[in-house]
Structure formats: C-alpha cells, structure tokens
Amino acid sequence: MAKQSKPLMALRKSPTQARAQATVDTILEASAQILQKEGEAALTTNRVAAHAGFSIGTLYQYFPNREAILGAMAMREQAHVLAKLEAVFARLDPADPEPTVREAVAALLGAFRGRHGVRRAIILGVMRRMPDDPRASAGVAEPLLAALETRCAGHFVPLGQAGRFVLLRAITGAVRAAAIERSPLLGTPAFEDALVRLVMGMLRAGG
C-alpha cells in the first residue's frame, strides 16, 4: 500500500498510556460535537477543554492549537478509511477490478456520511495545508490507485504520470467539493456510479 500522507499537525505528546489515550479520545469527541452543533468558528482550545471537562493545561499537553486537533481528527478518519480499503483490496480480481473499485469508492464516500459539520471542517483543514504538503490533495484515493496499479499490472496499460495525477485529483476534488458545498449528491448511488466510471474509464483508456 502507498505511504500515507503526513497528518496536518502531530500531537504534542503521544498518548502512551490508556489514561492518556482516553484523554485524547475525549478531546477529539468533544471537538466533533462542537463542530457538528456550532461550526468551526466555535472550535477554540478553551471551548474544547471546557466541553471535554479538562483544564486548558491538560489539553495543551497534547494539542498546541485547534489546527492540531483538526489534524488528529483527519489522521484518525484517514486511518479508519484505509483499514476498510485494505480489506476491500484483498478481494481484488486483477482481470476484473470494477467490483473492487466500487467497494473502495463506497468506503471512501462512507467517510463523508454522518456528521457533516465535522467532515467539512476536517476537509477544510486538509485543504489549508495543501500549499505546504501537495500530497494532501491526493488523500485516501492514493491507496486505491496504488493497489490497482500494483495488482492489475499486465491487465491494463499504465496510466502514466499525467493520467495518475489527474485521476487522483479528480476523485478527491469531486468528493471534497461535494462535502464542502453540502451537495445532496454525496450520498447517492449516482455520485458513486460517476466516480466508478471515472476510475474505470481512465484505467481502460490506459492514460
């Protein structure tokens, strides 16, 4: 599987003990609740600490600012999606990848269902980092394409550098735009079908 992109911000202190991990989990859940109910403008370190029931000093042991909190949320979300994709790729038939592509797209889109305010804030946080880390724009679509290239080699003509770049940004760009714009298309079979056709169309065209 392709190397994962770096998170937006690293934790200031790694939660090595169960209690520390529980503290981080509580902070991230409090942040998610604030984002969902009140929006990103309400997400401040003081507000998160109060909502989580901790002192601001405790929060600062792990997160120096709200961008670090958003970064940790993005990293956790990405890890969750990548775990799902790994299971999907195990069923990949190199000669007939479309069913796997469909499952992978469904897993990717599943990350944007549920608490839309939270997803939107995470996506915006990732987009703010793009000028400093161009790899962030590829998102979790990178492992999908890497798996197809590795496991379907010999069955399809390689996309090439340009085709790969365009396909990755097309997938993540469409998903992010739908999430940011709160498009009703995001949870529909038609949106999923369009992404599958995009991937398979370029794969069959061979770049």
Residue 198: which pLDDT band, with cuts at 50, 70 and 90?
very high
Provide the whole-model pTM. Answer: 0.69
> Which sign does the torsion angle of CA 42, 43, 47, 52 carry?
positive
Q: Is residue 3 part of a domain?
A: no
**115, amino acid identity:** R
CATH number at residue 83: 1.10.357.10
Neighbours of 140 (CB within 10 A): 24
Give me the percent of the chain exceeding a pLDDT of 90: 25
Mean pLDDT, rounded, for 47-63? 95
Neighbours of 185 (CB within 10 A): 13
Q: Which residues contact 154 (CB under 8 A, 6 or more apart)?
A: 94
Q: Is residue 161 part of a domain?
A: yes
Spatial distance between the Cα atoms of 207 and 204, rounded to a whole number of angstroms = 8
Q: Is residue 135 part of a domain?
A: yes
Query: pLDDT for 21-45, tens place per residue?
Result: 899 999 999 998 998 888 888 989 9
Q: Is residue 11 part of a domain?
A: no
Average pLDDT, the chain: 80
Q: Is residue 10 part of a domain?
A: no
Structure-token pair, residue 131: 């000028």
**Residues 113, 84 contacting (CB under 8 angstroms):** no
Q: Is residue 149 part of a domain?
A: yes
Q: Is residue 192 part of a domain?
A: yes
Residue 27 parent element (H or E): helix 18-38
What is the domain count for the chain?
1
Range of the domain at 25: 18-205
Please state the three-class secondary structure of 8-25 as a single string.
Answer: CCCCCCCCCCHHHHHHHH
Residue 65: which pLDDT band, with cuts at 50, 70 and 90?
very high
Check whether 15 has a pLDDT greater than 90. Answer: no
Q: What is the pLDDT of residue 1?
A: 41
Mean pLDDT, rounded, for 64-74? 88
Query: pLDDT for 105-152, tens place per residue?
Result: 888 887 666 666 677 777 766 666 554 554 555 566 788 888 888 888
Count of alpha carbons within 13 angstroms of residue 86, beta-carbon side: 9
Q: What is the pLDDT of residue 177?
A: 85
Mean pLDDT, rounded, for 85-93? 85
Spatial distance between the Cα atoms of 100 and 108, rounded to a whole number of angstroms = 12
Which spans in 53-188 are helix H? Answer: 56-60, 66-89, 98-110, 116-129, 141-151, 160-180
Q: Is residue 198 part of a domain?
A: yes
Highest mean pLDDT among 6-10, 73-77, 138-142, 170-174: 170-174
Q: Which residues contact 122 (CB under 8 A, 6 or more apart)?
A: 70, 73, 74, 77
Mean pLDDT, rounded, for 90-96? 86
Q: Which residues contact 73 (CB under 8 A, 6 or more apart)?
A: 28, 31, 32, 118, 121, 122, 125
Q: What is the pLDDT of residue 206?
A: 58
User: For the ranges 25-39, 40-54, 177-191, which has the lowest average pLDDT?
Assistant: 177-191
